[in-house]
Structure 1
Amino acid sequence: MERSSFDIRIAEKLNEKAITVPTPVQKDVIPLIYEGVNCLFESETGTGKTLAYLLPLIQRLCFDADDTDETLRQTKLLIAAPTKELASQIKAELNYFIPEGGKTLLCFGGSPLKRQIEGLKEKPFAVIGSPNRLLELIRLKKIKTAQVEAVVFDEADRLLSKEMSDESTVLLESLPAHVQFCACSATLPLHIQSRLTELLEETGIAEGKRTQIRILPKENILTEQITHWAFYTENRDKNDTLRRFLAAENPEKALIFCINAEQTEHTAEYLSFKHVDCFALHARTDKIKRKQALDKFKSGSCKVLVTSDLAARGLDIKGITHVIQMGLSENPDFFVHRAGRTGRSGNTGINVVIGDESDLHLLAQFEKKFGLIIYPKDLYEGKVVSADDC
């Protein structure tokens, strides 16, 4: 589907965003999704996956409809996402591109169910939410599945992880066989591809429709647009090393990843005590504070955000110059998603690992697996220097 095939209102919106050329994933996937194909696709972080599925669905379901106004008064699109932050970002893109008068609704746990039911009475075109909340609303017959034409699993590998697989599976089983299914992630391993393919066959969604799996060639963002540094430190000294690094580097915008909520809170409290302006963001953070933290970080009024892996998935925050990983998960996908918050949209960035012996042993494995060059660094007299120079 060429750019000229889009409705003029979509083309104008693309111009406003200075989007003139499709990314490789958009060029590859948009025609398939526009044709109604079930599409499972993998592409690196920062390559434009959200618009790759949103634009053709908006074009086909809204602008190509016999009666666009009537279509916009029915829930035609469901999008499942693993975090509220990612879902909010998707909702913002939808609101930007759908025709005037179209409504969207965000549905997540932690927000009053009654308010979301009231929101559904306004007949949103698209509902974006967690699998369990979408499923709950379907079971309550508040979402009319007969009207749904397409469903998207954004960050599909996370949605089919051990923690979320049951709800995601039942959600798909609750939808009519006529729906079009799309799934995407920066990491879509073979076992996830196989499980999704099985689900489409089991639910009948595959019947009568093509299913395409598209694994886009690596654009080497991880190796060419992101520089990787490693600082060795004992576990007890990680926060002090982080503080000294922030003072030495003075990053324009730094996203700091911790292993869990407890470490996130402890690290943010330590930095605040040392007079570093920062916010903490994790799954247990109050929703008002979560929004405040993200808004201030996005605007640049706060340059440091400390988070759990809540923010690793899919978030596109402009201007992140440094990602700092305070320890590593054994799952290399976490490393990729974290690092991919910088070096986006043609920009460069720095990914830093502050780790003990165990962390750096894992990092050496990731270096080999992804073909990276890791530069050992140290801090000397308030500056970042090569570890070889110390």
Structure 2
Amino acid sequence: MLTFNELGLSDPLIRAISEMGFEETTPIQERTIPAALRGRDLVGQAQTGTGKTAAFGIPMIEQINIENEQIQGIVLTPTRELAVQVAEELNRIGQFKRIRTLPIYGGQEITRQIRALKQRPQIIVATPGRLMDHMRRRTIRLQGVSMVVLDEADEMLNMGFVEDVETILVEVPGERQTLLFSATMPGPVRSLAQRFLKNPEYIQVQSREVTVPLIQQMYMEVQEKQKFDVLSRLLDIHSPDLAIVFGRTKRRVDELFEALNKRGYSAEGIHGDLTQARRDSVMRKFREGTIEVLVATDVAARGLDISGVTHVYNFDIPQDPESYVHRIGRTGRAGNTGMAVTLVTPRELGHLRSIEAITKRKIDRHPVPTIKEAIEGQQRITVDKLLRVIEEGELQYYKGLAEDLLLDNDSVTLVSAALKMLTRESDKTPVKLTEEAPLRAKKPLKGQGGYRKDGRGQRGSDRPGGKGRVKGRSERHGALTGRIH
């Protein structure tokens, strides 16, 4: 791999990249950055977690003219969370060149964004719907834009933003550079690239496996009614530092995180109906480790890049292989190992096999853990904690009290009592979740290599609780509803 010093970047960018802890490029960065610096239009196909943001962010910031106060770069993303995260990373990359990046998304007061735009940011990272709102208000003008990036293009099209994206691209000056990134390349994405990119260079990061090899993947076959008890046992056995639990619908997420809290786990939920302030609060708590379990829908968690996630639990099997890859890609990052567990009902085994076929990775079957194993797991965790305290020392303030206790009790009884007090007992508080219908295996679309999703290509909304225009099946059947999950 090339080092960033070998790319001929300016000193401010090298300094920023160094402070971010990056030394060597990832495969997508090694191939994308030099081509983008030469001014080429690009189509990049790479999975989540491959360093795509820096791959387009570095050349974009390198080419920004600091003396020009116009908006010079636009990045379109499918979700608010991804817009915020991309903007944060671009601001870190551009900090010493004094390049300002502003996220623009639905759910935040538009007057607040208008005030921020008066600070003259050079780069805008936006969801399509909110960017078009500003274009209609003439609070954002695109005549100075020289580079456009479409990030996660397949997801933007799946969410129904194709017309918005096309409208935006028509408004941007024709003499621009366009970079398109997508995890998959279905027909509509290829069509978009053919229409709006000029003789693009195609870059595909090949890997032996679509999914990250450092992630231990397994599934457990369970009945729908058993799922929650099994999840509780897994949390007791694994005791994850940070875990994400994926549910299929907004209602499922709400019921799950409330049920987890009833049983003594520290959990919060995130989906598209939450206010932006609430979403920000939940994500801040999760990043800080105040809560240990985040329950999320696919779209709400799309693009989340949180360090330290050790476990991903698919409470509901995802609707398609691409979503599976995105879900489990939340763990096993930056060279760390991770674990992904999928709970599958008997009628969903065919759907699981289709995921294995596309990801070219066999998912190991594991037996459902017993209550005894859950208790033993908690006991083992308690013993480990006790031994760590002994290793850390600084016990002098407690030794006198311990000696007094030993006058009336034997040492085995005392240690046993301490272990019992510290061990988390299995909570059997009754919990009732609304059952979800099982997913069936889906047939691949001819010539696209993808899987059909309900509501694909129809228009939706990127505003929380807003009235989307997707009309699919009801949440009761676990599919898309009139609002984005």
- TM-score by length of structure 1 reads 0.90
Aligned to 2:218: 229
Secondary structure of 1:218 counterpart: coil
Aligned to 1:250: 239
Deviation at 1:376, TM superposition (A): 1.8
Hey, what's the Cα distance between the residues in 1 that align with 2:35 and 2:372?
Answer: 53
The answer to whether the aligner puts 1:380 opposite 2:381 as a matched pair is no
Note the residue ranges of structure 2 that are not aligned, 5 or more in a row. 377-485
Hey, what's the Cα distance between the residues in 1 that align with 2:142 and 2:348?
Answer: 46
Residues 11-54 of structure 1: per-residue CA shift (max 9 Å, x gap):
12222222111011100110111111111101122211110000
Map 1:125-164 → 2, pairs under 5 A? 125-164=122-161
Contact 2:210 2:325 in 1 (8 A): no
Residue identity matched to 1:256: V
Aligned to 2:315: 326
The answer to whether the aligner puts 1:355 opposite 2:344 as a matched pair is yes
Contact 2:157 2:189 in 1 (8 A): no
Secondary structure of 2:364 counterpart: strand
Closer, same or farther in 2 for the Cα pair 1:2/1:248, shift >3 Å? closer
Contact 2:212 2:332 in 1 (8 A): no
The answer to whether the aligner puts 1:38 opposite 2:41 as a matched pair is yes
Contact 1:253 1:303 in 2 (8 A): yes
Note the residue ranges of structure 1 that are not aligned, 5 or more in a row. 386-390
Deviation at 1:246, TM superposition (A): 0.7
Deviation at 1:194, TM superposition (A): 1.8
Residue identity matched to 2:278: K
The answer to whether the aligner puts 1:367 opposite 2:356 as a matched pair is yes
Residue identity matched to 1:315: L
Deviation at 1:59, TM superposition (A): 0.8
Hey, what's the Cα distance between the residues in 1 that align with 2:286 and 2:326?
Answer: 19
Indicate the larger mover: 330-339 or 22-31: 330-339
Aligned to 1:79: 75
Aligned to 2:277: 288
Aligned to 1:52: 55
Closer, same or farther in 2 for the Cα pair 1:105/1:223, shift >3 Å? closer
The answer to whether the aligner puts 1:92 opposite 2:82 as a matched pair is no
1:23 to 19, 26, 37: 26
Secondary structure of 1:106 counterpart: strand
Deviation at 1:329, TM superposition (A): 3.3
Hey, what's the Cα distance between the residues in 1 that align with 2:128 and 2:148?
Answer: 11
Deviation at 1:100, TM superposition (A): 5.3
Contact 2:77 2:126 in 1 (8 A): yes
Hey, what's the Cα distance between the residues in 2 that align with 1:182 and 1:367?
Answer: 30
What is the aligned-residue RMSD (CA, Å)? 2.0
Aligned to 2:324: 335
Contact 1:106 1:127 in 2 (8 A): yes
Secondary structure of 2:274 counterpart: coil
Hey, what's the Cα distance between the residues in 2 that align with 1:338 and 1:77?
Answer: 29
Deviation at 1:347, TM superposition (A): 1.6
Indicate the larger mover: 304-313 or 275-284: 304-313
Closer, same or farther in 2 for the Cα pair 1:21/1:215, shift >3 Å? same
Hey, what's the Cα distance between the residues in 2 that align with 1:122 and 1:39?
Answer: 30
Contact 1:42 1:215 in 2 (8 A): yes
Deviation at 1:359, TM superposition (A): 2.9
2:103 to 103, 106, 114: 106
Indicate the larger mover: 370-379 or 123-132: 370-379
Residue identity matched to 1:45: T
Aligned to 1:118: 115
Deviation at 1:311, TM superposition (A): 4.1
Contact 2:210 2:360 in 1 (8 A): no
Hey, what's the Cα distance between the residues in 2 that align with 1:359 and 1:322?
Answer: 22
Closer, same or farther in 2 for the Cα pair 1:20/1:349, shift >3 Å? same
Residues 202-243 of structure 1: per-residue CA shift (max 9 Å, x gap):
xxx52xxx3112111125362521111112222223222212
The answer to whether the aligner puts 1:218 opposite 2:218 as a matched pair is no
Closer, same or farther in 2 for the Cα pair 1:21/1:86, shift >3 Å? same
Residue identity matched to 1:85: E
Residue identity matched to 2:282: A
Indicate the larger mover: 308-317 or 43-52: 308-317
Hey, what's the Cα distance between the residues in 2 that align with 1:18 and 1:9?
Answer: 15
Closer, same or farther in 2 for the Cα pair 1:383/1:263, shift >3 Å? same
Aligned to 1:308: 297
Hey, what's the Cα distance between the residues in 2 that align with 1:265 and 1:382?
Answer: 29
Hey, what's the Cα distance between the residues in 2 that align with 1:331 and 1:57?
Answer: 33
Contact 1:327 1:356 in 2 (8 A): no
Deviation at 1:124, TM superposition (A): 0.9
2:193 to 197, 207, 231: 197
Runs of 4+ off more than 4 Å: none
More strand by share: 1
Closer, same or farther in 2 for the Cα pair 1:219/1:92, shift >3 Å? farther
Hey, what's the Cα distance between the residues in 1 that align with 2:3 and 2:34?
Answer: 8
Identity %: 28
Deviation at 1:382, TM superposition (A): 4.2
How many residue pairs get aligned? The number is: 370
Hey, what's the Cα distance between the residues in 1 that align with 2:35 and 2:140?
Answer: 27
1:180 to 158, 177, 182: 177
Contact 1:155 1:313 in 2 (8 A): no
Deviation at 1:76, TM superposition (A): 0.7
Hey, what's the Cα distance between the residues in 2 that align with 1:382 and 1:376?
Answer: 20
Hey, what's the Cα distance between the residues in 2 that align with 1:174 and 1:32?
Answer: 25
Hey, what's the Cα distance between the residues in 2 that align with 1:58 and 1:100?
Answer: 8
Hey, what's the Cα distance between the residues in 1 that align with 2:178 and 2:3?
Answer: 22
Deviation at 1:101, TM superposition (A): 4.1
Hey, what's the Cα distance between the residues in 1 that align with 2:85 and 2:22?
Answer: 18
Residue identity matched to 2:46: S
Aligned to 1:388: none
Residue identity matched to 1:20: E
Contact 1:44 1:218 in 2 (8 A): no
The answer to whether the aligner puts 1:259 opposite 2:263 as a matched pair is no
